[in-house]
Amino acid sequence: MTDNTQINLGIKEDLLNMETIMAKEINKNELEDVIAKAMIESINTEVILLISDDSNIAELKFKDGSLEETKGDVNVLKDKIKILMKRAVTKTKAM
């Protein structure tokens, strides 16, 4: 396995270990509301929003209400969109 493969697997593993907040199909005109929800959910944590129209995929990463990173182009997505919103799992301290 090359170093690049290990790095990519690490990123996917982080995503798999995140809590799913929302998973559904929406119309493109609902996307603004979903992005606003992702921003709100990202307060004090990290939220990743995966958006797909089956041909294109975009990924938006939010932290503390701000957009931190974007991969792909949201503007090329067609009308029917599948979304997956994931939140970093917070570790609680043992008492």
Examine residue 94 and state whether it is found in any structural domain, yes or no.
no
Examine residue 95 and state whether it is found in any structural domain, yes or no.
no
Examine residue 18 and state whether it is found in any structural domain, yes or no.
yes
Examine residue 72 and state whether it is found in any structural domain, yes or no.
yes
Question: According to the model, what pLDDT value does residue 6 have?
Answer: 42
pLDDT digits (tens, 9 = 90+) for 6-20: 444 445 667 788 999
Examine residue 61 and state whether it is found in any structural domain, yes or no.
yes
Quote the radius of gyration of the chain (alpha carbons, Å): 14
The domain containing residue 51 runs over which residues? 3-87
Say how many domains are in the chain: 1
d(CA 34, CA 29) in angstroms, rounded, equals 10
pLDDT digits (tens, 9 = 90+) for 25-63: 999 999 999 999 999 999 999 999 999 999 999 999 999
Considering only CA atoms, which of 49, 41, 44, 47 is closest in space to residue 23? 49
Examine residue 15 and state whether it is found in any structural domain, yes or no.
yes
CA 67 to chain CA centroid, Å, is 11
d(CA 88, CA 86) in angstroms, rounded, equals 7
Examine residue 9 and state whether it is found in any structural domain, yes or no.
yes
Mean pLDDT for 73-83 is 94
Considering only CA atoms, which of 28, 72, 30 is closest in space to residue 50? 72
